[in-house]
């Protein structure tokens, strides 16, 4: 997709291609046109490809993965309490909270369940939610791994998609081991997406540990 095509792209043009309830939610959020990272990654995400997406902070990476993920789980027939379809890993509680807020807005009128897994005082509440079978989890690496290892009747065996969000910050915070531990507990057939503000050798090495070979790399250069 070239710059001109991106500038003419409008979410309404996706009518019939992605679930109309997602388009309604975007419209209710006041979002009409995809940002460049959204426009460039969306077609690949919808095809189920593994992706490394890089664009600076504030460029709209959250919706770049949330829109196709929600569409994918709807298409696969996920519904409330049917188990985990997608895991979104964030480097901090604050970022996980923000992502979960955007997800909640997107899921208005869509019968998928979501839950924030960030630890703190609320571990027992998290256990109850996870045992009920939540569809989309947004959380921090340590706490997600803790639940995968220790929470009875919680598994990600039907997981279809893993997102490593703000991967540069995940690495800065020293979470590589947690991520590798989480990935070991997930099905290999999943789609994996890595988003980051920057790409360097460390990000590429994390991608080799977590994504399929030859992921699609989409990098939006700053103007």
Nearest to 209 by CA among 172, 173, 162, 139: 162
> From the CB of 189, what's the least distance to ligand ADP, in Å?
27
Closest residue to Mg ion in the complex (CB): 61
Closer residue to ligand ADP (CB): 55 or 145: 55
Residues of this chain, 136-175, that bind ligand ADP according to CB under 6 A = none
How crowded is residue 6: how many other Cβ atoms within 10 Å of its Cβ?
Answer: 17
Q: How far apart are CA 117 and CA 6, in angstroms?
A: 35
Decide: is 63 part of the binding site for ligand ADP (CB under 6 A): yes
Decide: is 34 part of the binding site for ligand ADP (CB under 6 A): yes
Exactly one of 35, 115, 191, 210 binds ligand ADP (CB under 6 A); that residue is 35
Decide: is 45 part of the binding site for ligand ADP (CB under 6 A): no
| 152-169 burial code (b ≥16 CB/10 A, e <16) | eebbbeebbbbbbbbbbb
Q: How far apart are CA 51 and CA 74, in angstroms?
A: 20
Decide: is 62 part of the binding site for ligand ADP (CB under 6 A): yes
Decide: is 59 part of the binding site for ligand ADP (CB under 6 A): yes
Closer residue to Mg ion (CB): 95 or 211: 95
Exactly one of 14, 22, 23, 31 binds ligand ADP (CB under 6 A); that residue is 31
Distances in Å between the Cα of 203 and the Cα atoms of 97, 166, 183, 185 are 23, 10, 16, 21
- In sequence order, what DSSP letters do the residues of 9-53 get, joined into one string? --GGGGBTTB-HHHHHHHHHTT--S--HHHHHHHHHHHTT--EEE
Tokens linked to 162: 């893993």
> From the CB of 55, what's the least distance to ligand ADP, in Å?
6
Determine the interface stretch with ligand ADP among 34-42, 134-142, 154-162, 180-188 (rule: CB under 6 A).
Answer: 34-42
- Which residues contact ligand ADP (rule: CB under 6 A)? 31, 33-35, 38, 55, 57-63
């Amino acid at each position: 997709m070239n710059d001109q095509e991106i500038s003419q792209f409008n979410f309404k043009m996706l009518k019939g291609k992605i679930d109309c309830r997602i388009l309604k939610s975007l419209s209710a959020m006041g979002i009409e046109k995809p940002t460049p990272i959204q426009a460039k990654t969306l077609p690949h995400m919808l095809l189920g490809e593994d992706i490394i997406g890089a664009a600076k902070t504030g460029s709209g990476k959250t919706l770049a993965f949330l829109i196709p993920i929600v569409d994918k789980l709807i298409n696969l027939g996920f519904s409330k309490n049917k188990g985990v379809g997608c895991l979104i890993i964030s480097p901090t509680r604050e970022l996980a909270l923000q992502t979960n807020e955007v997800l909640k807005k997107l899921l208005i009128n869509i019968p998928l369940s979501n839950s924030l897994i960030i630890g703190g005082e609320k571990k027992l509440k998290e256990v109850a939610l996870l045992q009920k079978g939540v569809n989309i989890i947004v959380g921090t690496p340590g706490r997600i791994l803790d639940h995968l290892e220790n929470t009875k009747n919680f598994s990600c065996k039907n997981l279809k998609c893993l997102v490593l969000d703000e991967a540069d910050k995940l690495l800065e915070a020293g979470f590589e081991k947690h991520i590798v531990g989480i990935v070991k507990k997930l099905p290999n057939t999943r789609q994996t997406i890595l988003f980051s503000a920057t790409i360097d050798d460390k990000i590429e090495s994390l991608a080799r540990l977590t994504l399929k070979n030859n992921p699609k790399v989409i990098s939006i250069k700053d103007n």
